[in-house]
Amino acid sequence: MTELVFLKLGGSLITEKNRRFAIRREVLTRLATEIAAARAAWPELQLVIGHGSGSFGHVAAQEHGFDPARGHSSPGGFAAISAAAAALNAIVRACLLDARIPAISLPPSASAIVENGTIVDLALAPYERLLAWGAVPLTYGDVTVCADRTNGSILSTEAVFHYLATHLNPNRLILLGQVEGVYAADPRMQRGLPPVIPEITPGNWEKVQAVLGGSHGADVTGGMRGKVAEMLALARAVPGLTIRVASGMRPGLVEQLLLNRAPSAGTAIHA
């Protein structure tokens, strides 16, 4: 049976977010191997893969004075952020290709238009045709132009996934990071790790967001609180969508998640 899954490789998972332009190559190579194994075990599995910008795009954004509220008025700084995000994407794509995953990069900056912080247009046909062909569209957190002002903005992978999901209707969405899921307290304020919240719904969101922290490294797209809020909104917008936040650091888990064999791993987000 065919199933469409969106998979995000978090920036904190595939890069060292506190070190400039530092890749976790061993982790990325292992993830690619596990994704390839899942595709081999389930040939009907369709994938859209996205990745965060980690110590590439986020660090470049900070270095060039990007303001999340006002955007970026400098074409030179904007171009530098774009180049950093694309450089990481090239590394991710190479690792996927080495694992014989037919990944084809689709940069959001090539077609996305944002108005009031929300994507109002993004080319869908390339995703649809690549999926029908058996290829794997690869996207990422990127810069974008704005319809309502004469400067640029930055799109998180979650924002791109949100737009794509409302049009492509995936069955599942998996967000992989360093952590085991969404914690019940800010880990930076605890001795030892707090418990993982098993599920987040509109009913408990107000309580959950009060304890969520931001990001442990450079992040101009809102940290964990912003990511979970984006995903909860998406769960409301796409009926039946299951979203799971889990760890990409545990060997073998990514393959099991893709094959739908780890129903209790991490944190489930649903409406």
d(CA 32, CA 135) in angstroms, rounded, equals 15
d(CA 64, CA 72) in angstroms, rounded, equals 9
Rounded average pLDDT over 225-253: 91
Nearest to 36 by CA among 104, 102, 99: 99
Per-residue pLDDT tens over the stretch 156-211: 899 999 999 999 999 999 999 998 998 887 666 666 678 899 999 999 998 888 77
* Mean residue pLDDT across the chain: 87
Count of C-beta atoms within a 10 Å radius of residue 156: 24
Whole-prediction pTM: 0.89
pLDDT of amino acid 29: 97
pLDDT reading at 19 higher than 90: no
Count of C-beta atoms within a 10 Å radius of residue 264: 7
Strand partners, 158: none
Both tokens assigned to 234: 């998406």
State how beta strands 113-115 and 199-200 pair: unpaired
pLDDT reading at 110 higher than 50: yes
Q: What is the SS3 assignment for 96?
A: helix
Per-residue pLDDT tens over the stretch 46-89: 999 999 887 776 666 666 556 655 555 577 778 888 888 899 99
pLDDT of amino acid 220: 43
Q: What is the SS3 assignment for 179?
A: coil
